[in-house]
């Protein structure tokens, strides 16, 4: 027998009990790290590039918060789907019951707040829509009657409660109920039970233990306006093939769809399947599988309604199902029935109506709604950063995205109590030890992966950023740009939320250790601090010496982030941070994989230095490049590179050098060479 509503309430009781303290519904917790960890994990669903969601962690985190901190519909919805993902249909039934129980018990005080009715409806709809989309893909062979019927009962109650609480904002339950009905219709017929004294069970016997089946029966059980549309096909089939009271089994089964459609309708309405007439007449409820799933929350795989199973065709007629003890095999739809007649063929698949369209624009009706939206966007950025880092670990963009996504929705550090402690847990000892070991063994790739992956769970533990920077430095010059991007983005976030580096964990220990404090002071905060204003004389000299050399036009860029690199270097040079700019550009030179790419990178270095007024450095680079042009006869083999080098060399010479002295002879020679290679360039240089 499927569980009753009271039994489902008992299942949900651990999460429906009041939160300890003065407020039974708890407090707003969506800015707590534990809440954000759950939300970020679930947000991986929105990013195809992300790793698989760790549903065990979602269930554990949401469960703890619901029991001890807050009654929140989003958490209940996440946990309900997590229970399905980890425990199958029986877990889905438990999660649905929790969602309904929390909604009913704490309606006035639960979160989102009552003034955000649409936010509450969206939280329930998130679970209902996702479960309705995934159930049609479940392997029919993994489904048994008892957990499926339990889910039908729980969904029926949640649908009724949603109509009462949300009115026209209520989620559409039709697709979910149709998916349940479809699975129920695909279950094998239970084995007939023999009737003593030679009697043949009739539909009249069955009528004594179940309501009569007629064309109007299902119309009394509709769950919602959307559910009514989804059940139309089932009710129509029932109306067309309704059985007559007292008719013998042969006449009752004249329709090949009779039993299956009855089962489908019963499942959609939350009623247990009655099986065949003879089984009911003997007081034995027919079950496709006598073993149900445990309702307890736990970790592990499910054997009932496995959500990871691939979509299967219609249920096979020879599927083995255990029934009552002593029976060697289950009823087979293709075999003869108890009275010698051929069993009816399986019902055709029920048409599932299209899923409702999701809103094209996010809910931005309030500050809280905007924060929720930014949290979702941040989770997507984290997923994109992880995918990009795995594909190209030296790409600076992934490290920028990771730090943007971590704190996008935050405007200030977490609040502390009177003792200065936050509710943030420190870095686990096991993880800290692992990071230290990887650093000691110079396993830079593993260290980088470990520290970057842990940031989403420990966003306020700045030690992880230091380990990432150490790993990038250890990986060599090719990762210098990535390290610079990490430091700069971290500095931006720390300036935006001052005080993060001083946070205290819930145990009273600093979240940022001493080594990280020193690193932040020496390499992050100081490096990102605005430089002292240069003197008027220095500004005058720099402005007077600055040139305006045009960008190079040498085909595709040699680096994926060439434009970003140039913009960054230009900004550093304009701020007077020449050393940092040159170091950044030199890293790009070192990272180049070919001689041509290195030559072009050095041309960029010289051009940017000239435009920033650093003429001595620009001339030195152009002199070295000119020697390479001559040594390798680039006038012949790479005329475009040679012309770019000659143009830069000529433009960085002063008028006095052009008129007389040893440089004047070199100037005339190189001017003639440039005229042969690119006449238009000679016009830009001037005689």
Tokens of 424: 């943030």
User: What percent of the chain has pLDDT above 70?
Assistant: 68
Q: Of all helices (H) and strands (E), which one includes residue 402?
A: helix 396-407
Other C-beta atoms closer than 10 Å to the C-beta of 143 total: 24
> For residues 414 and 504, what is the distance between their CA atoms, to the nearest angstrom?
10
Strand partners, 342: 336
Other C-beta atoms closer than 10 Å to the C-beta of 400 total: 20
pLDDT digit string, tens, across residues 370-412: 887 888 888 888 888 888 888 889 999 999 999 999 888 888 8
For residues 34 and 79, the answer to whether their CB atoms sit within 8 Å is no
Find how far residue 16's CA is from the centre of its chain: 27
Question: Using CB atoms within 10 A of its CB, is residue 185 exposed (0-12), middle (13-18) or buried (19+)?
Answer: buried
Identify the pLDDT of residue 535. 45
Identify the pLDDT of residue 193. 54
List per-block mean pLDDT (blocks of 10 residues) for the chain, which spans 687 residues: 84 94 91 88 73 90 95 96 95 96 94 90 93 90 91 95 90 91 83 52 41 39 39 39 36 39 43 39 37 39 45 39 38 41 42 43 76 83 87 91 89 81 86 92 92 88 94 92 92 86 88 91 69 44 54 62 70 75 80 83 85 83 90 89 90 81 84 88 76
Identify the pLDDT of residue 433. 92
Give one word for 50, left, alpha or beta, with left for phi > 0 and alpha for psi -120 to 50.
beta
Other C-beta atoms closer than 10 Å to the C-beta of 176 total: 32
Question: Using CB atoms within 10 A of its CB, is residue 347 exposed (0-12), middle (13-18) or buried (19+)?
Answer: buried
Strand partners, 72: 111
CA separation (Å) from 337 to 45, 184, 250? 47, 21, 10
- Cis preceding linkage at 112, omega within 30: yes
> What is residue 242's DSSP assignment?
P
Identify the pLDDT of residue 316. 38
Q: Mean pLDDT for the chain? A: 74
| pTM across the whole model | 0.39
Strand partners, 613: none
Find how far residue 605's CA is from the centre of its chain: 40
Q: What is the largest CA-CA distance in the chain?
A: 129
Strand partners, 510: 504
Identify the pLDDT of residue 275. 41
For residues 109 and 26, the answer to whether their CB atoms sit within 8 Å is no
For residues 548 and 611, the answer to whether their CB atoms sit within 8 Å is yes
């Amino acid at each position: 027998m499927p569980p009753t509503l009271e039994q489902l309430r008992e299942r949900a009781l651990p999460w429906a009990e009041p939160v300890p303290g003065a407020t039974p519904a708890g407090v707003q917790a969506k800015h707590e790290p534990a809440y954000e960890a759950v939300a970020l994990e679930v947000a991986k669903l929105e990013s195809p590039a992300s790793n698989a969601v760790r549903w065990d962690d979602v269930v554990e985190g949401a469960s703890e918060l619901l029991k001890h901190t807050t009654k929140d519909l989003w958490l209940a919805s996440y946990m309900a789907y997590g229970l399905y993902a980890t425990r199958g249909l029986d877990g889905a039934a438990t999660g649905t019951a929790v969602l309904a129980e929390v909604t009913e018990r704490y309606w006035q005080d639960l979160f989102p707040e009552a003034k955000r009715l649409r936010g509450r409806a969206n939280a329930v709809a998130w679970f209902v829509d996702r479960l309705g989309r995934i159930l049609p893909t479940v392997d029919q062979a993994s489904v048994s009657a008892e957990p499926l019927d339990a889910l039908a009962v729980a969904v029926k109650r949640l649908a009724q409660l949603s109509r009462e609480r949300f009115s026209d904002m209520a989620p559409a339950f039709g697709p979910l109920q149709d998916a349940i009905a479809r699975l129920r219709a695909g279950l094998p017929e239970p084995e007939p039970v023999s009737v003593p004294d030679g009697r043949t069970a009739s539909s009249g016997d069955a009528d004594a233990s179940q309501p009569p089946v007629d064309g109007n029966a299902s119309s009394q059980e509709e769950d919602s306006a959307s559910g009514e549309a989804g059940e139309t096909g089932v009710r129509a089939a029932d109306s067309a093939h309704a059985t007559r009271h007292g008719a013998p089994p042969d006449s009752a089964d004249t329709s090949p769809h009779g039993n299956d459609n009855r089962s489908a309708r019963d499942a959609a309405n939350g009623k247990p399947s009655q099986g065949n007439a003879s089984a009911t007449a003997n007081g034995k409820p027919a079950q496709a599988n006598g073993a149900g799933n445990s309702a307890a929350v736990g970790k592990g795989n499910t054997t009932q309604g496995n959500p990871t199973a691939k979509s299967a065709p219609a249920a096979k007629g020879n599927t083995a199902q255990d029934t009552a003890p002593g029976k060697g095999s289950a009823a087979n739809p293709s075999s003869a029935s108890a009275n010698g007649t051929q069993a009816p063929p399986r019902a055709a698949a029920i048409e599932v109506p299209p899923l409702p369209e999701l809103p094209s624009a996010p809910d931005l009706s309030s500050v809280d709604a905007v924060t929720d939206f930014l949290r979702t966007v941040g989770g997507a950025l984290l997923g994109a950063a992880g995918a990009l880092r795995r594909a190209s670990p030296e790409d600076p963009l992934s490290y920028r995205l990771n730090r943007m996504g971590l704190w996008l929705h935050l405007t200030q550090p977490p609040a502390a109590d009177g003792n200065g402690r936050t509710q943030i847990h420190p870095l686990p000892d096991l993880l800290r030890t692992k990071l230290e070991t990887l650093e000691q063994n110079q396993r830079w790739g593993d260290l980088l992966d470990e520290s970057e992956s842990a940031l989403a769970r420990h966003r306020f533990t700045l030690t992880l950023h230091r380990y990432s920077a150490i790993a990038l430095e250890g990986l060599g010059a090719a990762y210098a740009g990535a390290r610079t991007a990490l430091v700069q983005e971290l500095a931006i976030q720390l300036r935006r939320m001052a005080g993060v580096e001083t946070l205290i964990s819930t145990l009273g220990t600093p979240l940022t250790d001493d080594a990280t404090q020193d690193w932040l002071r020496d390499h992050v905060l100081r490096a990102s601090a605005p430089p002292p204003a240069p003197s008027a004389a220095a500004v005058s000299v720099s402005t007077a010496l600055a040139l305006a050399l045009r960008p190079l036009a040498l085909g595709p860029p040699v680096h994926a982030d060439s434009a970003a690199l140039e913009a960054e270097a230009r900004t550093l040079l304009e701020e007077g941070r020449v050393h940092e700019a040159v170091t950044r550009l030199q890293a790009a030179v070192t990272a180049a994989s070919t001689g041509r790419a290195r030559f072009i990178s050095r041309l960029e270095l010289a051009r940017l230095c000239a435009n920033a007024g650093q003429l001595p450095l620009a001339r030195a680079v152009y002199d070295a490049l000119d020697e390479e042009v001559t040594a390798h006869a680039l006038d012949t083999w790479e005329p475009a590179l040679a012309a770019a080098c000659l143009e830069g060399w000529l433009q960085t010479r002063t008028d006095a050098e052009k008129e007389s002295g040893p440089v004047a002879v070199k100037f005339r020679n190189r001017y003639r060479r440039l005229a042969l290679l690119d006449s238009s360039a000679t016009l830009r240089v001037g005689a």
